[in-house]
Chains A and B, each alone.
Chain A
Amino acid sequence: MSDLNTTMVNEYRSNFLKEVEANVEEGRWVKMCMQCGVCSGSCPLGPAWEHPPQEIFMMIRAGKRDEVLKSESMWMCTSCYNCIVRCPRELPITHIMHGLANYAHRLGLAPKMNPTRRFAKIFWDNIVKSGRVNEIELSLRLYFMDGFKNGVEKAWSMKDIGLGMLKARRLNPLGFVTHKGCKDTKGIHRMLKKAREIEDRRKGFAA
């Protein structure tokens, strides 16, 4: 069978739905959606979504794997939980959105340049390193992720906030030097590794 036919056969088949159920956090809830759209309407960032949650659920059922996993949409979620509170079917939509984003990321399908994804990555790397966030390093990495020139411009535009935080002692300018990790950094690393192994095994990712 040609690729085209395979795609066609997969349309509206539950292959992808089952994949989501198995591998995405709270993915088993996707099938419970009844397409009322209250999640999409309640989302404060709604207008910014290419595909709002309810549509993503329909796309999953329609077998639109690539379109969903490559979408920027679920990266828009800011965890306000409005959708969860309103959903008449009690779907944990916030969690599903994060689950889908995470899954797409793990598969390498998530849009590479999506700022939320990149921030999350920077944040993760930062926190994992010592078991604690190094705030100054995190901010600078974030500002300079698109190159030096961009970084300077971004930092400059945020200077008032930065100075304010310094004054209020909410940011330690010497963080690079004075940052202390947690007591058992190695222990944290072992824990995370183990967790990753379990997750990979459960979701069928190659180790």
Chain B
Amino acid sequence: MADVVATNETIVVIGGGISGMTAAVEAAETGKDVILLERAPSLGGRVSQLYKYFPKLCHPTCGMEINLRRLRGNRRIKVLTLAEVQKVTGEAGNYQVTATLHPRFVNENCTACGACAEAVTAEIDNPFDYGLSRMKAAYLPFTMAHPQRYVIDPSLIGTEEAQKAKDACRYDAIDLDMKPETVTFSAGAIIWATGWRPYDAAKIQPYGYDRYANVITSVEFERLADTRGPTGGRILRPSDGKEAKNVAFIQCAGSRDRNHLTHCSRICCMASLKQTTYMRERFGDDAQSSIYYIDIRAIDRFEDFYQKVQADSTVKFIKSKVANITEDEATGDVILHGVDTEGYHRYDNRHDLCVLAVGMEPSVDVRRIADVAVDASGFIEVNGPNGAIFGAGCAANALDVNRSVQSATASVLRAVQVVNRVAKAEG
């Protein structure tokens, strides 16, 4: 990685999702040098796995296209993928960032022609679809992946398959001898944008996520609805591939719960409301969506969206934290048990599919890597004594996309203040 030049006027952005990409392009377009580190083989992050955004029901890749164009056109940004940050030391204006660069086994020569994937037969779970589909072990992470370069899965290394992939490549792009590399570079300020991960739904034992095929998470449901997803956008339930026309959405699956996540994850209500529109889009008046909620948190301008969904006769709202789920083994249907607390009504409701609106938790335990203050949920404190390490997006709070972008943009100014000070001091 000899071509990575970093000084203590460089801003290092950790995480290449919507927040990190935003931070990187906004900083670079302000004239700052940026190194953008992403652990996965592609930029894009979690939003690239969403079918649509609320409240406009537009597509995340639309914004990503613009951001990628800005990023590709800006020579101040150096992107490193498969880069896992191990340690951050130093202080404001003078940090050392150490990262491991995992091997992609594919170099810059790759044209994304796809010949290696054609040559390989081995398949692995597709993480882009949360394992709901399989893919070749030589793969492009997704159609809009950046960099547009294939990846050879490490499981292939040392097998004949790997050789087949290499032999299929006419551009000498496959290098099976790549080794992990450790790199260290300087930074004046660090923007921490490592985002979130869905709370492990299996921990909510009475919902049977680990036992019932037809209990899935909200992020998995996005993949089912996505026309680029494992079912081509048909909402089919996992147990038998039947169309899931009657779907339950359970709010606060992990959030607002002292036994799980104490915070409210903010996005889940809106995500479920949005997902009822997928139901209507697919099944029209035959759709049946039921939202089980404690409070519908369609905050500020999102209230419109809530009102629109409320007006849809195919959507029902039940004020209830579902007690437990059982499975009808004969049909695979799920039966939700609980009490509607608005007037006390017990229910045992049968659904084709149940979607758990899982909460957000920080994807990385930041304190293992750097000396920063986090709140009780592990989010980086924006006002904490963190030197020039600035949390952005969901690393700093449970945020929706719009607020993540806002947070990322704000973090850029905080970083710019530091590197400008450094520049001034250095003349």
Contacts and interface: CB of A to CB of B under 8 A. Distances in A.
Q: Do chains A and B touch in the complex (CB under 8 A)?
A: yes
Interface of A: 34-38, 40-42, 46-47, 51-52, 54-55, 85-90
B298 interface: no
A142 to B, nearest CB: 31
A34 B257 CA distance: 11
A54 B294 CA distance: 13
Given A52-B339, A54-B341, A42 B256 contact: no
Interface of B: 206, 252, 256-260, 294, 319-324, 337-341, 344, 346
Contacts of A54: 339, 341
A21 B340 CA distance: 26
Contacts of B206: 42, 86
B344 A52 contact: yes
Nearest to A38: B321
Contact of B321 (A46, A51, A85, A88): A88
A55 B341 contact: yes
Contact of B323 (A35, A38, A47, A90): A38
Interface centre among A41, A55, A85, A89 (most CB of B within 10 A): A41
Contacts of B346: 40-41, 46-47
24 contacts: A34-B256, A35-B319, A35-B341, A37-B319, A37-B320, A37-B340, A38-B320, A38-B323, A38-B338, A40-B323, A40-B338, A40-B344, A40-B346, A41-B320, A41-B322, A42-B206, A42-B323, A46-B346, A51-B344, A54-B341, A85-B259, A86-B259, A86-B323, A90-B258
B338 A37 contact: yes
Contacts of A35: 294, 319, 341
A36 B294 contact: yes
A90 B258 CA distance: 7
Contacts of B319: 35, 37
Contacts of A37: 319-321, 323, 338-341
B374 to A, nearest CB: 22
Nearest to B323: A41
Contacts of A89: 258
Contacts of B322: 38, 41
A88 B252 contact: yes
Secondary structure dominating the interface of B: loop
A135 B320 CA distance: 43
A88 B341 contact: no
Given A47-B346, A55-B344, A88-B258, A41 B339 contact: yes
Contacts of A38: 320-323, 338
Interface centre among A42, A51, A55 (most CB of B within 10 A): A42
A46 B338 CA distance: 9
Nearest to A82: B323
A88 B204 CA distance: 11
B31 to A, nearest CB: 48
B344 A41 contact: no
Nearest to B338: A41
A88 B256 CA distance: 7
A47 B347 CA distance: 10
Nearest to B257: A88
Contacts of B260: 88
Contact of A46 (B257, B339, B340): B339
A86 B319 CA distance: 17
Given A52-B339, A88-B252, A36 B344 contact: no
Nearest to A54: B341
B316 to A, nearest CB: 16
A35 B321 CA distance: 9
Given A38-B322, A41-B321, A42-B206, 11 more contacts: A36-B320, A36-B321, A36-B341, A40-B323, A41-B322, A41-B323, A41-B339, A46-B339, A86-B206, A88-B256, A88-B257
A37 B341 CA distance: 6
A172 B260 CA distance: 49
B354 to A, nearest CB: 15
Nearest to A90: B258
Given A86-B206, A86-B323, A41 B337 contact: yes
Contacts of B252: 36, 88
Nearest to B294: A36
A34 B323 contact: no
Nearest to B261: A88
Given A41-B320, A88-B256, A34 B294 contact: yes
Contact of A42 (B257, B294, B324, B344): B324
Nearest to A53: B339
Nearest to A58: B341
Contacts of B258: 87-90
A79 to B, nearest CB: 18
A149 to B, nearest CB: 37
Given A37-B321, A42-B206, A90 B259 contact: yes
B337 to A, nearest CB: 6
